[in-house]
């Protein structure tokens, strides 16, 4: 790890790289979409020095905060299944990813905890 990255991590409000600490199981497609959503959010949220102090780069932010976008990624994938503009060739892959993700232990716990 470079000195610059060590300083960024040590000055981060949580003080660690969560990427190596989080053992949440999600389907790879869900993770990829959540990561990309976090990267896009960074572009819109990065507007002041305080934000840059905590998250110095888009990759750092997306690696650290992608987990916060999992539910939104799943909701977006569900919306894509009903969208006529999404190619029919992608829909079976999206459906399969959501189906497999729902069988993972964390997804079952998340469903049980979701309020009605």
Q: What is the pLDDT of residues 25-68, one digit of tens each?
A: 788 999 999 999 999 999 888 888 888 888 888 999 999 899 99
Q: Span 83-94, mean pLDDT?
A: 94
Is the alpha carbon torsion for 35, 69, 1, 43 positive or negative?
Answer: positive
User: Other CB atoms closer than 10 Å to residue 108's CB: what's the count?
Assistant: 11
pLDDT band at 7 (very low <50, low <70, confident <90, very high): low
Distance of alpha carbon 39 from alpha carbon 43, whole angstroms: 7
pLDDT (0 to 100) of residue 90: 94
For helices 28-45 and 70-82, angle between their N-to-C axes, nearest 10 degrees: 110
pLDDT band at 83 (very low <50, low <70, confident <90, very high): very high
For helices 91-102 and 70-82, angle between their N-to-C axes, nearest 10 degrees: 140
Q: What is the helix, strand, coil percentage profile of the chain, to 5? A: 70, 0, 30
Measured CA distances, 21 to 10, 17, 24, 64, 96 (Å)? 15, 7, 9, 10, 27
- For tokens 């750092």, the residue is 60
pLDDT band at 18 (very low <50, low <70, confident <90, very high): very low
pLDDT band at 104 (very low <50, low <70, confident <90, very high): confident
Whole-prediction pTM value? 0.70
Measured CA distances, 85 to 28, 32, 37 (Å)? 23, 21, 20
Can you give the residue ranges of every domain in the chain?
Answer: 18-113
What rounded mean pLDDT belongs to the chain?
79
């Amino acid at each position: 790890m470079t000195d610059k990255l060590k300083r960024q991590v040590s000055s981060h409000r949580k003080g660690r790289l969560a990427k190596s600490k989080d053992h949440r199981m999600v389907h790879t497609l869900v993770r990829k979409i959540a990561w990309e959503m976090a990267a896009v959010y960074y572009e819109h949220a990065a507007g002041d020095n305080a934000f840059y102090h905590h998250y110095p780069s888009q990759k750092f932010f997306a690696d650290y905060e992608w987990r916060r976008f999992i539910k939104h990624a799943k909701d977006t994938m569900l919306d894509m299944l009903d969208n006529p503009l999404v190619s029919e060739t992608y829909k079976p892959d999206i459906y399969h990813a959501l189906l497999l993700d729902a069988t993972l232990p964390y997804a079952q716990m998340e469903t049980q905890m979701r309020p009605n």
